[in-house]
Structure 1
Amino acid sequence: MTSPSVAATKPQATAPAAQSLPAAPSTAGHDAGLLLLRLVLGLTMAGHGAQKLFGWFGGGGISGTGQFFTASGYPAGDAMAVLAGLTETLGGLGLAAGLLTPLAAAAVAGTLVNAIAVHGTGSFFAPAGIEYELLLTAAAAALALTGPGRYAVDRLLPVLRAHRPAHGALALALGAVLAAVMLLVRS
């Protein structure tokens, strides 16, 4: 016969606990890294859009970019130049500020999907490759899924204060659908 004190110390058989990964804590380094990524990607894309819209940084402006779009098979080249320029500029500035980050990232990713399609897949590396566009697309998608971090305007908006990966996934799906529509209108 076992004494009550011995029985109380015997390990009890329990069901295994559900295995789940703990949420990664938001650290200053994590948030600073996301800020750096947002700034570099966002300002790069905003500058690229300014090339299309205003001819800045050696760009073709609306007419030069419109001619490129027409030659690439898009209808109404000037309208496409404005659309692409606004998407890149506003999406890029949204990323840099961390404003409506899932939508800004999806706008950038969707535009880059079209850039990859136009550029072609003849080679992965430069000068005729797609590695640059693919890297920018992946960075935008990663930001849509991870969120902007603490150093972002989104933190001031109650709806977006707590980033949810589902918001990013839905925004990326919307960006992919719109990119596909743009590719379909291309002849």
Structure 2
Amino acid sequence: MYKDFTQWALSTDDNWTGLVLRLTLGLVLFPHVAQKLFGWFDGPGLRGEMHYMTTKAGLPAFVAITAITIECLGAFLLLAGAGTRFAAVAVFCLFMGMILVVHSSNGFFMNWFGKVPSGTEGFEYHLLVLGICIAIMIQGGGKYSIDKLLNGYSHNL
């Protein structure tokens, strides 16, 4: 059973679809990760993000740390194609939480025209992330993924 689960978790075809999906999601998440961890791209940095998540979003510190870790680790795992399905599940859960806790009360649309205060975005972007995560869960990491390499190795065991 363990071998079957591992093979499923790492299984992927040598296709471009998985590669395009995981690189798209990983590359879109990376600037947000850089903002949260390092303060790049006018981001708050880790201290500022923790402050926002624990005060304005009202999350316990442990949940805030977990959310930041999932987003950061998930982006890097997706880019590498390592544990791709697990990363997609984790990011999916994270973004469902974002919708439920923060963004659902702001409506569907992002703040495209600056008509609402900053930080009150809707959840349309989050739905796109959820869709990509579902496709990755089905498809796997695709071409040039570490999963593909490991799955080939596990077949030889």
Query: Shorter-chain TM-score: which interval?
Result: 0.7 to 0.9
Q: Which residue is 1:10 aligned to?
A: none
TM-score of the pair, normalised by structure 2:
0.73
Aligned partner of 2:60 among 72, 75, 79 = 75
Over 6 Å off, 4+ runs: 159-162
Output aligned runs, 1:101-112, within 5 Å.
Answer: 101-112=84-95
State the 1:131 CA deviation.
0.7
Q: Which residue is 2:25 aligned to?
A: 41
The percentage of counterpart residues that share the same residue type is 40
Aligned partner of 1:113 among 96, 101, 104 = 96
Question: 3-state SS of the aligned residue for 1:48?
Answer: helix
> Which letter maps to 1:92?
A
Q: Which residue is 1:98 aligned to?
A: 81
Tell me, yes or no, if structure 1 residue 65 matches structure 2 residue 46: no
The count of residues paired between Structure 1 and Structure 2 equals 132
> Which letter maps to 2:60?
P
Output aligned runs, 1:83-162, within 5 Å.
Answer: 83-117=66-100, 118-127=102-111, 128-158=121-151
Deviations 1:114-150 (A, max 9, x none): 2112112442122232110111111012101211123
Deviations 1:43-97 (A, max 9, x none): 2223312211221222111221112112111122xx5444322211211111111
Between the aligned partners of 2:127 and 2:34, the Cα distance in structure 1 is 21
Between the aligned partners of 1:47 and 1:123, the Cα distance in structure 2 is 24
Report the aligned-residue RMSD.
2.3
CA distance 1:108–1:161, shift in 2 (3 Å): farther
Q: Is the 8 A contact 1:109 1:140 kept in 2?
A: yes
CA distance 1:104–1:123, shift in 2 (3 Å): same
TM-score of the pair, normalised by structure 1:
0.62
State the 1:160 CA deviation.
8.7
> Which letter maps to 2:125?
Y
State the 1:159 CA deviation.
7.8
CA distance 1:159–1:115, shift in 2 (3 Å): farther
Between the aligned partners of 1:160 and 1:115, the Cα distance in structure 2 is 37
Between the aligned partners of 1:130 and 1:143, the Cα distance in structure 2 is 20
CA distance 1:161–1:109, shift in 2 (3 Å): farther
5+ long unaligned stretches in structure 1: 1-25, 163-187
